[in-house]
Structure 1
């Protein structure tokens, strides 16, 4: 395997960030709230903002901090969208930005949105967070996206407010989601579960849905101190997942958008987030060092998908719950903010391994 080069990686990072801020696409948007432009407030922008914050913490760049402050101030002035699982995603970065700036208006917004999660957000049976999103209530449904988009923020607010109720709620959501979304055969995660009909829809082992756990868990474990038994359970679930991923990784280091279907196209955003989560888990001691080669191979593959302008290719558009496996194969491929940001996450972690 070709060794990673720090200088080249940093050059990629600069280009990724530049393109993320002003991404263009020819695709017709299908989501009620735009998910391509960084000028909107939705989950793709939330993932992008968090990756920029992590790089700011790595570099101390005042330009990155200024961009984050400007982005949030503009969106707040415009008026925030209705609260749901996906629009909650930018709040994670805002909670960190509050700590950086001590701007009370950020804290008040975070408190309001966190309170909504606990007091008003729709719930399924067993009190799981219903995956209600912009334009769709998805009654009775649990999706693996929810842990990353909403639950990490809930845990953060438990820490900031020193409120154990938020922390315990975050634990409950991880346990409920793993209970219903884990495939006991492979250790991978189904995209969703519905209590209305009690099934896993198409039984899709969707790559990006899986990567929300791989990337999200390592950050969750940094956010909050968990009871040892809970932490051990979550890490063992990660190890089972990564063991299965190792077996399904293509020779070029990428993973298919349906992890267990080699006829589905290979997908870069999930590969990047798998690289981030696996490498960070190894570095933190959560996973056996033998998995480092899996993460490095994935990172090399993701780097190979960055074009000369810094645009990440091979990224699937926003993906709703598929009723057939073919639906996942038919999702269009185009540059997306989360393609940029997930590659950025992988590169940021990769810098710690060179």
Structure 2
């Protein structure tokens, strides 16, 4: 990126814009802080023509800087920790300018240096939010030529773009955490009224996610499955206690009323703007059966949404292995035998097989199973 003698300013400007565009595109695809740090270091090496680039993440709990990403020839520092005040990276966080520039002949004695590394021209760009929170430091170096003001400006822009991306990812994570808490609270509302065994919501969410991963669901589908698991029985809030807690068999009229909870739940959750149709599918269809004998729509086979087929196995397993008003808890091996027997009738046989494998079993050897997971 160094402007060479004879290059026209407009050519240099076009190169700078191309570099920023490439960086922006790469950062848009990131979903975690670690990915952002890798992009910043790798593209700094490429676009600034430096010998090495390192990202030092600020860790508030430890109050230190830790090298979490690096690229280039000088790439042997992952995990190196700088306590507060140690090294040029910390000096950069206190500098009055966006970028600290250090001449290779003026590296101070207190600088932290990799053994055997040559003297280099150095740039350090802190990443700070608009509120002043330190996120880390992007550091680059090269033996020659010296850095120009243009290089400093580009690195500062890289750091600013990285800061915006890290803030976006942090805000998205906070939103997800808030949503997870709200969904869990709705699920726990059933447990607080003894409609479900205590812990049913968290157990089924965790087991559904585990089964989804075994079936190689995408991250988006896993998130949808989690949401559906949290909300699957929210419609039971409208069913009277004397029916839900009835220890004996239900009358036909009572059974129809209980079955209506899936429609009620779908109608309630539909009012939440951010909930997708696939989440509603889990809520409405997790009591459908592979053979078409389920409810509420008597869907059959692959007409049942996949995520609902996945959750159906998890929901039945948890119901079987925990105490309910109408039955005692069954041993895991017995519950797995029921899952095996119902494969191709109640359950999608491929989903049932994947579920059994979570416990070290198959459709053929459930009676010999010993839980592993």
TM-score range, shorter chain: under 0.3
Q: Looking at both structures, which has the greater relative contact order when contacts are Cα pairs under 8 Å and sequence separation is at least 6? A: 1
- Which structure shows the higher helix fraction? 1
Task: Specify the structure having the higher radius of gyration (Cα).
Answer: 2
TM-score, scaled relative to structure 1: 0.24
- Which structure shows the higher strand fraction? 2
TM-score, scaled relative to structure 2: 0.23
